[in-house]
Amino acid sequence: MIWLTNEIKFPDISEADKNGLLAIGGDLSPERLLLSYRSGIFPWYNSGEIIQWWSPDPRFVLFPSDLKISKSTRKILNKKLFHFTEDQCFREVILQCSAIQRPGQEGTWITHEMIDAYCALHEKKLAKSVEVWKDGELVGGFYGIDLKSIFCGESMFSKVSNASKCGFTYFVKKYSYKYKLIDCQIYSSYLEQLGAVGISREKFKEFLTQNVP
C-alpha cells in the first residue's frame, strides 16, 4: 500500500492493486485533485475513512459519438418536459447527489470534506454542474471535473423519472465537439445502456497523455 505524503505527487497508475486501489492519504486540495484526474486517478472512500485514491482496470468511459438515445428519451426531449442549465447551483447539485438513496448502498461517499473540495474546484472553473429543472424545481443533475477535452463525471441524481438521463444526453450532445471522452470511472449498467464501455487502464492513460495538457 502506497501512503501519500504532503508532496503533491502520485505513483504511476500501473501500481494500483487488482481492485484499482492505488494509494491512501494526502488531502483534497484543488492542486492534488486536479493532478489526480489528469493522471487517471480519483478519490473514493466512506465517511470516517482515510482518503483512498483509485484507478480501476478496466476504466468505464463513454465516447460521445457512441451515445445511445432511446426512442422514449427522444420523445421526452422533443416534448421539452425539462429545462437544462449549467453551473447555476453547483453546491445544491452535489448536496442532492450526496443525499439521494441508492439501492444496496448505505450512507454516501460524498462527505462534507468532498463537497467543500469540489466546490473549491468549481470556483476555479475546474468543476462543472448540469441542472435539470421541471416546473421551476431542481429535479436532477450531475457534476464532474472539466479537463477541457475530457469530462470526468463524478455523480448524478434524479428526483423524477428520466431527469438525469435527459440531462446527461443534453450535455453529451451539446459538447460532443469539445469532449473526446466522458470518464464514467467504474461500471454502471445505467451508463452502459447509454453507450459507455470498458477500456483498459493503459489505454485510458494513453488517451489522457494525448489529450490533456
Task: Report, as an integer, the average pLDDT of 73-79.
Answer: 96
**CATH-assigned architecture of domain 60-211:** 3-Layer(aba) Sandwich (3.40)
Phi-psi region for residue 13, left (φ > 0), alpha (ψ -120 to 50) or beta?
Answer: alpha
Beta strands in 87-134 (DSSP E): 127-134
pLDDT digits (tens, 9 = 90+) for 89-106: 999 999 999 997 655 445
Say how many residues make up the chain.
213
Across 28-37, 45-54, 99-108, least confident range: 99-108
pLDDT digits (tens, 9 = 90+) for 140-181: 999 999 999 999 999 999 999 999 999 999 999 999 999 999
pLDDT score at 108: 62
Q: What percent of the chain has pLDDT over 70?
A: 96
The pLDDT of residue 107 is above 70: no
Q: Is 123 exposed, middle or buried (0-12, 13-18, 19+ CB in 10 A)?
A: exposed
Residue 33: CB atoms within 10 A of its CB come to: 24
Q: 112-123 vs 90-99: helix axis angle to the nearest 10?
A: 160
* Residue ranges, CATH 3.40.630.70, the chain: 60-211
Task: Report, as an integer, the average pLDDT of 43-58.
Answer: 94
**CATH-assigned architecture of domain 2-56:** 2-Layer Sandwich (3.30)
Element (H, E) at 24: strand 21-25
pLDDT score at 117: 97
Task: Report, as an integer, the average pLDDT of 46-55.
Answer: 93
The pLDDT of residue 1 is above 90: no
As a whole number of angstroms, the distance between CA 5 and CA 203 comes to 28
pLDDT score at 102: 52
* Residue ranges, CATH 3.30.70.3550, the chain: 2-56
Task: Report, as an integer, the average pLDDT of 100-121.
Answer: 78
Tell me the average pLDDT of the chain: 94
pLDDT score at 32: 98
Residue 161 cell numbers, joined: 423519472
Q: Return the ∠ at Cα 168 (arms to 19 and 155), rounded to 5°.
A: 40
Residue 94, classed as helix, strand or coil, is helix
As a whole number of angstroms, the distance between CA 120 and CA 143 comes to 13
Residue 83: CB atoms within 10 A of its CB come to: 13
Residue 22, classed as helix, strand or coil, is strand
pTM of the model: 0.94
- 127 neighbors 121 (Cβ within 8 angstroms): yes
pLDDT score at 101: 65
Q: What percent of the chain has pLDDT over 90?
A: 92
pLDDT score at 213: 81
Task: Report, as an integer, the average pLDDT of 4-22.
Answer: 96
pLDDT score at 104: 47
